[in-house]
Amino acid sequence: MTGWTHLIRLGELTRGPLSVRLEPDADIRAALAKELALESLPALTAQLKVRPWLDGVEITGPFKAVVGQVCGVTLDVFEQELSGEIALQAVPAGSPNAYDESAGGELALDLDTPDPPDVLESDEIDLAHILVEHLALEIDPFPRKPGAEFAYTPDTPEESPFAVLKALKKDEG
């Protein structure tokens, strides 16, 4: 990653919830754009609420970005606004609230129940890393400039393989 971090220790939450605004400078945005295979990243902001949750942490809040990408149809560079919502719970390793893969049970996939909490590798949470992960999920891997249409008409109509076989059968008979 770019080296951009914003660390919060679990112990800091004992005093209560934190409100954190993340807004990287132009150099960091340029490095993030390169890392995310974007032409540019003119804007990125997030307003996060970090609060205690069970024996871990809950991170919620909106983020907004402007990304520059190359249109897959016209090959023009264009910018578009993206926004998303971060909603993440995490618990320390060894927590009784963590999903235990070693127990051999399968994780049931139910769209109506919340995801199990993430497991932290240490007592630090990198909010910048979480923001970049969520931004990456919002980026369209096949961007299309507004109004760009892919119009393809083949030069010659393609003949079905079955039509070719039928014509060969008529020639034999």
Ordered alpha helix ranges (H), 65-160: 127-138
Look at 15-19, 104-108, 153-157 and tell me which has the smallest mean pLDDT: 104-108
pLDDT in tens, 31-69: 999 999 999 999 999 999 999 998 899 999 999 999 999
pLDDT of residue 38: 97
Strands of the sheet containing 18-22, edge to edge, are 18-22, 40-53, 56-70, 77-92, 118-120
pLDDT in tens, 71-118: 988 899 999 999 999 999 999 888 777 766 655 556 566 677 777 888
**pLDDT mean over 131-152:** 90
Look at 21-30, 71-80, 127-136 and tell me which has the smallest mean pLDDT: 71-80
29 within 8 A of 132, measured Cβ to Cβ: no
